[in-house]
Amino acid sequence: MLVIGLDVGTTGTKAVVVDKSGNTLGSGYREYALKSEGGKVTQSAGDWWDAAVYAIRTATKNIDANRIVAMSLSTQAASMLCADRDGDAKSEVITWMDTRSSLEAEELSRAIGKEEIYKKSGWLPTPVLDAAKILWLKKNMPELFKATDYFISTLEYMNMKLCSRCVIDPTNAAMRQMFDIQTGKWDKAILDYIGIDESRLPEILPIGAKVGNLSATAAEELGLHTGVQVFNGAHDQYCASIGSGAIEAGDMLLATGTTWVVLGITDKLLYTESHISPGIHAVHGRYGALASLVSAGSALNWYRSIIDGDFKEMDRKAAERMESAKDLFLLPYVCGAGFPHNRPDLRGMMIGLDKGHDRYDIARALMEGVAFEAAAVLSQFKENGMDISTLMMTGGAARSDLWSEIVGYVTGCDIWRMKEPETCCMGAAMTAAVGAGIFKDYNECRSLMVKREKMNLDDPEKRAFYKEKATKYAALSEALRNIM
């Protein structure tokens, strides 16, 4: 028996076909475009489906489709479209990067209360989430607002295309900022304020609940059969936590993409003064607690572009620069300072530069700066009762021995890296496998499907080196925040 994990992301869709031992037997990927104009960032929902068809057909081209029994999805969150009753789009997708509804987010904060919205949804009011977007549509595009049958996001659109059922999960629902994670229902106060009712929103089912079987139309387009069961998916970072084996209270995922995301697993909803975002995990009785570093992978991408560098070469040369870069500090706020500082206005700084330094010293200082910021995020989790000793590390930085090592020594955590890089897809595949009864629960599934390796981080000199440098970095970061 085989399962499919499908990850419908911001810029492309990936599919993997996986067996019950966690072996990837086939994969496929297709990109799609974003359209940007000022604060508006949109894309076409049809591109999601076309890419899914291509990715699944590519992943299954050398596989007997009759062996595939189930599938589930990992999706980007808070990218919203207006749809009719059949799920067909009546608008472009307003993506999670779209900031047109800034005034409406401020209005929601005043009308309902910033802390109240955080307690309900797990997220502070923001223009990138859907409550503010719907309010913006009501004010600025009233005809579209009135003509819309469903306000849906990526997961619901895909579920409707796959099996004609409009269904969302709690992680995606929370990031729409109209869902109460404490009651498990759409929140009437928020809906009343923005002027809609539950009939215009999807049905909410738990992660892993059966949505249905592939419709005849979907099965034909995908090259599969109508016996394939579709199980409800989740927000991509929650799927990544499953795919990396972070399913027990105290487990911690560090997903290192353009933005680095820290997702801790807890046994209760975790609300904090620093506004860590709590949510409902796939594993019954477990919850997630999420925070993001916006200036992380994006900072190294920026630096590589301005020096026209190569990641592998930077990695190799920067590994030789620990001593030469020891007094060089780079505060990497090229996209502002995210959690826990929450200062989008703050910009970076380089301190200690002299004529003896080269581009690789700077690259190393930048990697260290991001690692110091990750440690600052983890400190917030620790201050709120999480005992963190291990990080499941995924994404681009996890493919760098140097950057992974720096993170380990700076945070003092054991670092486990995944052998299957597509952890969002793997998490979706595991959700399908548990849903289909191939495994009795996620613990059994993890024992066979998650393949990972622990880094060797037993150099006391490096540990002492980074303890001292981290203290200096923290002082510099605080000083910068105080003067800017």
Between residues 396 and 14, which one has the greater pLDDT? 14
Q: Are 133 and 101 in contact (CB under 8 A)?
A: yes
Q: What is the spatial distance between Cα 57 and Cα 59, in angstroms, rounded to a whole number?
A: 6
What percent of the chain lies above the pLDDT cut of 70? Answer: 100
Report the DSSP beta bridge partners of residue 234. Answer: 74
Query: Tens of pLDDT along 315-374?
Result: 999 999 999 999 999 999 998 888 898 888 899 999 999 999 999 999 999 999 999 999
CATH of 245-418+451-484 among 3.40.50.720, 3.30.420.40, 3.40.50.300, 1.10.645.10: 3.30.420.40
Chain mean pLDDT for the chain? 95
Q: At 126, is the pLDDT very low, low, confident or very high (cuts 50, 70, 90)?
A: very high
Q: At 257, is the pLDDT very low, low, confident or very high (cuts 50, 70, 90)?
A: confident
Query: Tens of pLDDT along 392-434?
Result: 999 889 999 999 999 999 999 999 999 888 899 999 999 999 9
Q: At 377, is the pLDDT very low, low, confident or very high (cuts 50, 70, 90)?
A: very high
Q: What is the spatial distance between Cα 75 and Cα 66, in angstroms, rounded to a whole number?
A: 25
Q: What is the spatial distance between Cα 90 and Cα 246, in angstroms, rounded to a whole number?
A: 38
Tell me how many degrees the CA angle 238-241-242 measures, rounded to the nearest 5: 95
Sign of the alpha-carbon torsion through 333, 289, 432, 162:
negative
- Encoded tokens for 67: 């062996």
pLDDT at 25 over 90: yes
Q: What is the spatial distance between Cα 469 and Cα 46, in angstroms, rounded to a whole number?
A: 49
- The residue ranges of every structural domain in the chain are 2-237, 245-418+451-484
- Encoded tokens for 150: 């469903």
The pLDDT assigned to 386 comes to 87
The pLDDT assigned to 389 comes to 84
Tell me how many degrees the CA angle 338-339-340 measures, rounded to the nearest 5: 130
Query: Tens of pLDDT along 204-242?
Result: 999 999 999 999 999 999 999 999 999 999 999 999 999
Name which CATH class applies to 2-237.
Answer: alpha beta
- Mean pLDDT value across residues 11-25: 95
The pLDDT assigned to 30 comes to 97
Q: ω into residue 340 within 30 of 0, thus cis?
A: yes
Query: Tens of pLDDT along 138-197?
Result: 999 999 999 999 999 999 999 999 999 999 999 999 999 999 999 999 999 999 999 999
What percent of the chain lies above the pLDDT cut of 90? Answer: 90
Q: Check if 2-237 and 245-418+451-484 are the same fold.
A: yes
Q: At 38, is the pLDDT very low, low, confident or very high (cuts 50, 70, 90)?
A: confident
Q: What is the spatial distance between Cα 39 and Cα 136, in angstroms, rounded to a whole number?
A: 13
Which residues neighbour 480 within 8 Å (Cβ) at sequence distance 6 or greater?
331, 346, 349
pLDDT at 125 over 90: yes
Q: What is the pTM of this model?
A: 0.92
- Mean pLDDT value across residues 83-101: 94
